[in-house]
Chain A
């Protein structure tokens, strides 16, 4: 579904992604883990068109999307839930959700998506008229995921959805992610919380200073001494 092939990304002189290759098959949940500054966010930004790779290819459903502007990538069916939530704080919850569907023609199908979001996040229905900036951190994360669901995407990119949330909320968010996946969306999940990420994904990649250093089945990675000491210290 998504193939990243030997991609190089620079911020000015800084070589942030050094020939990254990675693939996500249809229907999978794949995790991408790594320490602060490893380049995880940069990978997602390259996929969704915020950054243009200097070289390499990004194929989505067989089509080269590298270098497309973000709104065109979104129209291909990729929804990106950015780091730090990124809800439109100046708009109501409902308007945020409507923004999520801005590539779709308003109508019955969009209404159905909205019903789905509201039934999965009843809190959002209660707060539909509230400004998104006044929601709690966890609620904003749910709204950001709900907004992505409104696009009815075939692929969702999630950037550290657990960041800054209580363990209970993290649990809830991850449950939500598996449901979104079961409903048909392929998922690329960026996390620092490796144990949580491994619990819902079958395959994972480990990124270190711009390079993929380990990849494989999460069952194997869990037992890998290097991964254990660096990313699963709490297990």
Chain B
């Protein structure tokens, strides 16, 4: 039983990180109907910003998160402006292929020696690891930070989407961009903000991931990106609560699969889930045809 509970805690750790990434996929899909395949790479850039901010500049943790947030948001806004906006009216397949191109560009461009470099780099721990807990169950301070930071981000996001003017505009655009424009919403601006917001969350996720799994590389975003995308589809793409739910399920299933079956199943399980959802319930758990998209 203790072993099981421990695995659940470990599953929450990775599940929360997936949630931070999955939100960006789902929000962007909600407002523009685009699967931004470069989103996992934005997460990677967040991790590298963390690496430099901690390892080179020894900034306090709060400043590290702030930098990663801003850096990733700016990156995503530029990406949308340069790569996706010109294709807004083009057939969907064009933006999809562009997204894959942007993803590859980010992975290989940042692998240049002049940028982040092609190797695995160890992510400096900003604090010593400690843990508490009864019996065989333990909660590390890393996990505590992941839970705390992610829950605060989710709270902040919920507040922005539900209670602010910009959040209301996001929901309006996600429901009907033409009518949103008619009532005076600057749709392009809302789309930029959505990209920025999703990327900011991925940036936070990147730093947390680096702290928890302290090795970074410019291709590190690929697998978590795919899993978070699966989580968003599982929860119902376009739905914010769905993305979080899907991510938590993903975290649990891969942790439990590697604990009780074999760690080689860890990555496989994600794709079994993806294929299963697509076959059985393509709209996802919370993604009924009429759920709100953002």
Name A's B-contacting residues (CB within 8 A).
48-50, 69-71, 74-75, 79-80, 82, 86, 88-91, 95, 98-100, 102-103, 106, 133, 147, 151
Contacts and interface: CB of A to CB of B under 8 A. Distances in A.
Interface residues of B, number: 21
Interface string B179-223: 111111111000000000000000000000000000000000000
Contacts of A151: 183-184
A86 B179 contact: yes
A75 B184 CA distance: 6
Given A71-B186, A71-B187, A91 B168 contact: yes
Nearest to B166: A102
A82 B179 contact: yes
Contact of A103 (B175, B184, B187, B292): B184
Contacts of B259: none
Given A95-B168, A98-B168, A74 B175 contact: no
B182 A48 contact: yes
A99 B168 contact: yes
A88 B176 contact: yes
Contacts of A102: 165, 168-169, 183-185
Contacts of A50: 178, 181-182
B247 interface: no
A156 to B, nearest CB: 12
A95 B186 CA distance: 17
A100 B165 CA distance: 12
Contacts of B171: 88, 90-91, 95
A86 to B, nearest CB: 4
A72 to B, nearest CB: 8
A147 B183 CA distance: 8
